[in-house]
Amino acid sequence: MIHYLKIKNFGPIKDEMEINFEVADSNGLDDYVVEMPDKIQLIKLIYIYGANASGKTTILNAFEFLRYLLIHPKNEKEEVLDFEPFLFCDRPYSKHSFLELAFYVSDIRYIYNLEFTKTSIVSEKLAFYQTKKPTELFSRSTDLKKRFSKIDFGSKIKVPAREKDLLESNTLHNNTVLGAYAKTNVDIPELEALNKWFISFFFGLITSNHMLNEFTSRLIERDPQANVWINTLLNKADSQLMEVKVGSYEEGLNKMLQGSLNRNTVIRGTTYRLSTQELRNRFVSFLPKASLEKPLFHEINFIHKITDTKTFTLPYESESSGTKKYFGLSGPLYDVVHYPRMLCIDELETSLHPDLMKYYLQVFLLNSKKSQLLITTHSTALLDNEDFIRRDALWLCEKQDTGSINLYSAADFDSNTLRKDSSIQKAYKTGRLGAKPNLGSPYIDNNK
């Protein structure tokens, strides 16, 4: 599980900021809390509120950036890192950026420090805590002129010289040590365990632009338990929805291609005809081989019960945007409920009724074990129920006059601003907590 992430000089974040999952408010909402062996209590769900362009998504992007660095190494020396530093300053690309991640793997606490620029990893350090004192796993430094990396392992980590040299030679100046390890033919058990954990635990970032129907379809197709669970979840959201049936990849692809063929007036207006199979073969021949390892198209049908004896079938394309969004999100929800995962969702409320969004989060809280969910949202409806949302789970993001952002928790406010018996929703709506747009009068003078 994640303890905290510290971020500096990353996008609109200028000075060091921290998103922290540690419990700060003992209010008895135990569904949120997981206690680690060292007695640190972590919460499973954090909400980030803020105005548009306030930097909320940047926090999620920092997790996603780190995930990619650790499990998707660069292949070429000239590739740059996929981020921008704080740009509202002189010579922004000359300044170093920093991330620090504290996390637990197999109940052992780790702290990972990363210093980097747009072009290079400057330094890394990874330590773990089997006692109260940290034990260094490795440290790495980079000669930025020669673009050469040097790795030093801690005294308690036994790495043969040959394997160390091989890993060091594969650690390009723009790769992390763990990223380089993922593509190096060496066996270092301590790094192997961490590599597997990062791949498994970090689900990734979901935005409103992501189409999740294929992920959920593949889950239903290959896992009977997931099929039953997801259909039960969808039925609770829409009692008329009896079942979602997922067809094979072949059926979905052929149907898509046949539809494209029928809509192509140029082809239909000639005597030349292509069969669906011929069109499919030509289409597939242009696809990269790697993309064929996973299904690209499934036929998805929703079975609706209209009366006790009558049902109707609607294709995925005919369903509402809300139903399609909820169907897509049901797959990741199944995953984080049944396996330890970290899932980031940007603007979860998009196309979802507030009650449905709350129910989605309740399912996660009540059924997950050691998973964590980090979401951004504008939905103030969630703040209405004091028995649902913890104050240390509510974080707020606000843009400053300098262009940088400020990130803080509702648990940070003293009793003069937010008493224990105060309404969080009212405090936020009236601006006492900040992180709201300052719009002013809706009147616009056309003469200006």
**327-372 confidence digits (pLDDT tens):** 999 999 999 999 999 999 999 999 999 999 999 999 999 999 999 9
360 in Cβ contact with 333 (< 8 Å): yes
408 in Cβ contact with 396 (< 8 Å): yes
Find tokens 């950026």 and name the residue.
97
Whole-angstrom distance, CA of residue 178 vs CA of residue 184: 10
User: Nearest to residue 322, comparing CAs of 241, 255, 246, 259?
Assistant: 241
Half-sphere exposure of 367 (CA within 13 A, CB side): 15
> Which residues are paired to 123 by β-bridges?
115, 141
The predicted-structure confidence for 172-210, as pLDDT tens digits, reads as follows 999 999 999 999 999 999 999 999 999 999 999 999 888
184 in Cβ contact with 165 (< 8 Å): no
pLDDT of 289 over the 80 cut? no
Determine what percent of the chain is predicted with pLDDT higher than 90.
Answer: 75
**pLDDT at residue number 29:** 60
Whole-angstrom distance, CA of residue 101 vs CA of residue 5: 5
**pLDDT at residue number 418:** 86
Per-residue pLDDT, averaged over 287-300, amounts to 52
**pLDDT at residue number 211:** 82
User: Nearest to residue 409, comparing CAs of 400, 397, 425, 426?
Assistant: 397
The predicted-structure confidence for 256-265, as pLDDT tens digits, reads as follows 555 554 555 4
Task: Return phi, psi of residue 144, to 5°.
Answer: -70, -25
Domains of the chain with CATH codes: 1-208+346-440 (3.40.50)
pLDDT of 26 over the 80 cut? no
339 in Cβ contact with 371 (< 8 Å): yes
DSSP string, 192-258: HHHHHHHHHHEEEEE-TT---HHHHHHHHHH-HHHHHHHHHHHHHH-TTEEEEEE--HHHHHHHHHH
pLDDT of 249 over the 70 cut? no
State the DSSP code for 10: B
CA angle 439, 444, 447 (to 5 degrees): 145
Residue 147 token pair: 């673009």
pLDDT of 68 over the 60 cut? yes
**pLDDT at residue number 308:** 81
The band of 293, judged by pLDDT with boundaries at 50, 70 and 90, is very low
Secondary structure element (H or E) that encloses residue 324, with its range: helix 321-338
Pairing of strands 108-116, 405-409: unpaired
Amino acid of residue 262:
N
Find tokens 């081989």 and name the residue.
289
Whole-angstrom distance, CA of residue 66 vs CA of residue 112: 11
CA angle 191, 192, 193 (to 5 degrees): 90
**pLDDT at residue number 295:** 41
User: Nearest to residue 198, comparing CAs of 222, 215, 181, 223?
Assistant: 181
The band of 440, judged by pLDDT with boundaries at 50, 70 and 90, is confident
Per-residue pLDDT, averaged over 228-246, amounts to 94
pLDDT of 294 over the 60 cut? no
User: Nearest to residue 69, comparing CAs of 175, 165, 205?
Assistant: 175
Whole-angstrom distance, CA of residue 125 vs CA of residue 118: 19
Per-residue pLDDT, averaged over 75-103, amounts to 97
Distances (CA, A) of 74 to 122, 168, 175: 15, 15, 6
Identify the weakest region by mean pLDDT among 133-137, 241-245, 264-268: 264-268
219 in Cβ contact with 334 (< 8 Å): yes
Taking the CA atoms of residue 162, residue 167, residue 169 and residue 173 in that order, the dihedral angle to the nearest 10 degrees is -160
Whole-angstrom distance, CA of residue 434 vs CA of residue 48: 12
User: Nearest to residue 175, comparing CAs of 85, 110, 79?
Assistant: 79
Helix, strand, coil abundance in the chain, percent, nearest 5: 35, 25, 40
**pLDDT at residue number 286:** 43
- End-to-end, the C-alpha distance of the chain in Å comes to 54
Whole-angstrom distance, CA of residue 203 vs CA of residue 344: 8
> Which residues are paired to 49 by β-bridges?
396
Whole-angstrom distance, CA of residue 368 vs CA of residue 44: 9
